[in-house]
Amino acid sequence: MVTAVVGANWGDEGKGKITDMLAKEADIIIRFQGGANAGHTIVNNYGKFALHTLPSGVFYEHTTSIIGNGVALDIPKLFEEIKSITERNVPTPKILVSNRAQIVMPYHVLFDRYEEERLGKNSFGSTKSGIAPFYSDKYAKIGFQVSELFDEETLAEKVRRICETKNIMLKHMYQKPPIEEKELLQTLHEYRDMVAPYVCDVSLYLDRALKEGKNILLEGQLGTLKDPDHGIYPMVTSSSTLAAYGAIGAGIPPYEIKKIITVCKAYSSAVGAGAFVSEIFGEEADELRRRGGDGGEFGATTGRPRRVGWFDCVASRYGCRLQGTTDVAFTVLDVLGYLEEIPVCTGYEIDGEVTTEFPVTASLNKAKPVIEKLPGWNCEIRGIRSYEELPENCRKYIEFIEERIGYPITMISNGPGREDIIYRKR
């Protein structure tokens, strides 16, 4: 059985925590898209970790962690990350890397940086991990698959060809030093030796695992609103963040995904530029940012302060719909305990009309939030383990949002730890 854990919003919804928690019952956890550009923060019995490339199931001895073909694989970063967890007493995880995953090249990182510099104030707010240049090359059919590292003759020829193209761009577009062909080939040999023990025909492996009835988790990065097709284009990421893409980015049949857990945060946060209708500013924002997440809303990869805002019913309903949600995991609810009243964005006003349907970017940029206020519960809810024990206003907040988004909230996360979860039968 395959379960996808994906985000409804702009990312940072707490997917890492939910995946880490569900991985207890899973055999295999797969990353199917994205790269080392975003992070998942996980708090468990080994401590607090920020993962960027590894799936959030690496903390159990019984799990196999897979980097699927849809991922932008930064090989040195993967190995640094493995080292950073084993150094802290986490048992060496069992890792497999798809032979069809493509490699983030050193020049992808450079092009990402140069392009953001060139764009100046119009930049995308990229994390400069090379993700956009990586996916551009993948679809321009000039990327490098892991499997290509093992065919020396073709590899050397391709490196020569790619250097030629890239160097024209470096010289004329960015006035930067060229890539040395020999050096790049040498780097790729190092990558090959690092990754060799882990390379696997992942779709075949998963086909067998499915036949054996294994429990498989697909772990998404970022959320619906960053999807290149259905998100706030162009301020999106470069690979699909939707559960549907899990089938492609892992190499399994789409009908095998039986459960889609969409993680939805009890308020909003976003990194990078782009429309964010329910965003708040000033004192009010500083306070939410400071109290948010687990020790403040600052990016797990970049340390950048996240933009914050109130819960957005319009964006979240859309976010859940596009994921094909079967269950909503409602997270970081404990953070809102300081508020007497909780504002919620229930509609968008666009050109004088109120809508509850999420629009395309041009209209979104004109949208103003319609805010309703709900009474707060004004107390600490961490440590509570059953739905009935939650304060009445807290239950009302959950039920109000459930009604507005139209998908069942079956899990409520009231703290960063594995055990901070309330299951709710629907």
Binding region for ligand GDP (CB under 6 A) out of 33-41, 317-325, 352-360, 388-396: 33-41
Q: Is 59 exposed, middle or buried (0-12, 13-18, 19+ CB in 10 A)?
A: buried
Nearer to ligand GDP, 12 or 74 (CB): 12
Which one of residues 278, 397, 415, 418 is an interface residue with ligand GDP (CB under 6 A)?
415
**Least Å distance between CB 141 and ligand GDP?**
30
Which one of residues 43, 209, 329, 345 is an interface residue with ligand GDP (CB under 6 A)?
43
Which one of residues 3, 4, 8, 17 is an interface residue with ligand GDP (CB under 6 A)?
17
Nearer to ligand GDP, 137 or 327 (CB): 327
Which one of residues 237, 239, 241, 414 is an interface residue with ligand GDP (CB under 6 A)?
414
Tokens, residue 124:
């995308």
Binding region for ligand GDP (CB under 6 A) out of 178-186, 274-282, 293-301, 351-359: 293-301
Three-class SS of residue 241? coil
Q: Does 422 bind ligand GDP (CB under 6 A)?
A: no
Name the catalytic one among 20, 40, 294, 312. 40
Binding region for ligand GDP (CB under 6 A) out of 98-106, 142-150, 178-186, 412-420: 412-420
Nearer to ligand GDP, 16 or 309 (CB): 16
The verdict on whether 40 is a catalytic residue reads yes
Bridge-partner residues for 387, per DSSP? none
**What is the spatial distance between Cα 192 and Cα 47, in angstroms, rounded to a whole number?**
32
Q: Does 40 bind ligand GDP (CB under 6 A)?
A: yes
- For residue 222, which of 306, 103, 119, 162 has the smallest C-alpha distance? 306
**What is the spatial distance between Cα 146 and Cα 220, in angstroms, rounded to a whole number?**
21
Specify the length of the chain in residues. Answer: 426
Tokens, residue 97:
């890397």
- The rounded Cα 411 to chain-centroid distance in angstroms is 19
Its sign, for the CA torsion 180, 184, 185, 187, is positive
Q: Does 332 bind ligand GDP (CB under 6 A)?
A: yes
Q: Does 31 bind ligand GDP (CB under 6 A)?
A: no
**Least Å distance between CB 58 and ligand GDP?**
14
Nearer to ligand GDP, 16 or 143 (CB): 16
Nearer to ligand GDP, 80 or 380 (CB): 380
Nearer to ligand GDP, 272 or 347 (CB): 272
**What is the spatial distance between Cα 4 and Cα 15, in angstroms, rounded to a whole number?**
10
**H or E segment to which residue 83 belongs:** helix 75-86
**What is the spatial distance between Cα 41 and Cα 173, in angstroms, rounded to a whole number?**
37
**What is the spatial distance between Cα 346 and Cα 44, in angstroms, rounded to a whole number?**
35
Which one of residues 3, 9, 33, 41 is an interface residue with ligand GDP (CB under 6 A)?
41
- Any alpha helices (H) in 346-416, and if so which ranges? 361-364, 392-405
Q: Does 293 bind ligand GDP (CB under 6 A)?
A: yes
Name the DSSP class of 279: B
36, 53 Cβ separation under 8 angstroms = yes
**Least Å distance between CB 321 and ligand GDP?**
19
Nearer to ligand GDP, 21 or 109 (CB): 21
Which one of residues 10, 13, 247, 418 is an interface residue with ligand GDP (CB under 6 A)?
13
**Least Å distance between CB 409 and ligand GDP?**
13
**What is the spatial distance between Cα 408 and Cα 365, in angstroms, rounded to a whole number?**
29
Half-sphere exposure of 405 toward its Cβ, with a 13 Å CA cutoff? 37
Per-position DSSP letters for 315-356, written without gaps between them = HHHHHHHHHT-SEEEEE-GGGGGG-SEEEEEEEEEETTEEE-
Q: Does 413 bind ligand GDP (CB under 6 A)?
A: yes
**Least Å distance between CB 128 and ligand GDP?**
18
Q: Does 133 bind ligand GDP (CB under 6 A)?
A: no
**Least Å distance between CB 157 and ligand GDP?**
39
Binding region for ligand GDP (CB under 6 A) out of 32-40, 206-214, 271-279, 360-368: 32-40
Nearer to ligand GDP, 115 or 334 (CB): 334
Single-letter code of the amino acid located at 147: S
Three-class SS of residue 187? helix
Single-letter code of the amino acid located at 309: G
As annotated, the active-site residues are 12, 40
The binding site for ligand GDP (CB under 6 A) comprises 7, 11-17, 38-41, 43, 293-294, 300, 331-332, 334-335, 413-416, 420
